Structure 1
Amino acid sequence: MNVLVVKANNRPASEAISSKMYETFMEAVKGAENLNVTTYDVFAEDTPYFGQDLFNAFGKLQSGAELTDVESRILAAKQKAMDALTAADVVVFAFPLWNLTIPAKLQTFIDYVYAAGFAFKYDAEGNMIQLMKDKKAIFLNARGGFYSAPEAAPMEMAVNYMRNVFGGVFGMEIIGEVIIEGHNAQRDKADQFIQEGLRQVSEIANKLVLQQA
């Protein structure tokens, strides 16, 4: 089984809980002979932001015109992200809630792969068809406040967004989700919240290993 782990926080694990969740998952699957685990670090990859440069590059490819450096880079980055997703059976996302949403670099990765004909398509009647129903997704998310409460849930646009993209549009089956929250809001209980969440991360990783044993 090919497992792609998308790491979306460049802060050290000593400071960032989602980075610690990533490390916990990787430690749990380390040495599993039945899993081929690769990491796509959105902050380490060369990922020019999605915009007109990409559309200029598409036009130049059709006309045969010479690409600029940024146009070449963005085409290569988009293809690398798509290839990584294509090869994966399971995609694990480790990401924080930053300012009510996901980090911009993770959004860029999504922009690269959120493509008609690749992740979804439309039929003759205009209905959307999911093209990644054979893949599975796991979400590992950390947020310092409490957003599971009904009054705060509508403000949370990280996990909800990821569910809608990868589960809703792409059609992946979401087989695991761990959210560590409230560690900044209730610092006296922070260690309790974090340790319980990390235990759940290890549990999900171990289950993945055992399923393929």
Structure 2
Amino acid sequence: MNVLVVKGNNRPDGITTKMYETFMEEVKDNSDLNITTYDVFAEDMPYFGQDLFNALTKMEAGERLNDVEQRLLDAKQKAKDALEAADVIVLAFPLWNFTIPAKLHTFIDYVSEAGFTFKYTAEGIKPLMPGKKVILLNARGGVYSTEEMAPMDMSVNFMRNVFGGLYGMDIVDEVIIEGHNAMPDKAEAIIDEGMTKVKEAARNLAYQYA
């Protein structure tokens, strides 16, 4: 099974960094899993914008690309190749300012391509990757699972809508650690419980989702 683990936090002491590390430690000796990592902060990932649209237009016309345009197309293709090769995608990401980090959003911008992850039809948008499975590993210092706060979370909700909705992938597991900053007296217990769930998700991967 090909597993792509996307690391969406570059803070050494970040909770989702620890979730990523815990997951990787748990699966490292599993010979049934072919693990590939994609660190959005370590990859060369110029932001999505007009330079990319210029590059796509030039490519279709057979025109020569400048260095910036070629760099963008190369980065986009690398992200697409990584996603396409995976049977399971594991995403470890925080909630920053109610949403996901910009670098992770850039990865999603790269792979959200009509004809690749979805297509337009007369009946509406059709997902093109229903065979792939997803595990979401998320942390947020506040509590966003309550009815009044849930609409403010544009991290997990966004990822569900994109990977589960737009791409049609099957979200088979979610581990969400929340409230450790809001309740510092309970932070250690909250984080420990979350890490236990990360380990369970990793152990279940080989046999439960094959």
Normalising TM by the smaller chain, what interval? over 0.9
Work out the CA distance in 2 between the residues paired with 1:184 and 1:16.
12
Q: What secondary structure, in the 3-state scheme, does the structure 1 residue paired with 2:84 have?
A: helix
- Alignment pair present for 1:177 and 2:183: no
Shift of 1:129: 1.2
- Distance in 2 (alpha carbons) for counterparts of 1:148 and 1:32: 33
**2:133 maps to which of 125, 131, 136:** 136
From 133, 149, 152, give the equivalent of 1:152. 149
Task: Give the 4+ runs in structure 1 shifted more than 2 A.
Answer: 62-66, 209-213
Deviation at 1:205, TM superposition (A): 0.3
- Name the counterpart of 1:91: 89
| RMSD over equivalenced CA pairs, Å | 1.2
Question: CA deviation digits over 1:86-123, x for unaligned, max 9?
Answer: 00000000000000000000000000001111011122
Distance (whole Å) between structure 1 residues aligned to residue 61 and residue 86 of structure 2: 33
The question of whether the paired residues in 2 share the 8 Å contact of 1:35 and 1:212 is answered with no
Distance 1:66 1:120 in 2: 28
Once the two structures are superposed, residues 143-190 of structure 1 have per-residue CA deviations (whole angstroms, 9 ceiling, x without a partner) of 000000111111010000000000011000000000000000000000
Total equivalences in the alignment: 210
Structure 2 matches for 1:101-140, cutoff 5 A?
101-123=99-121, 125-140=122-137
> Runs of 5+ in structure 1 lacking a partner?
none
TM-score normalised by L of structure 1: 0.96
Please show how residues 1-213 of structure 1 align to structure 2 within 5 Å: 1-12=1-12, 15-123=13-121, 125-211=122-208
Report the identity percentage. Answer: 66
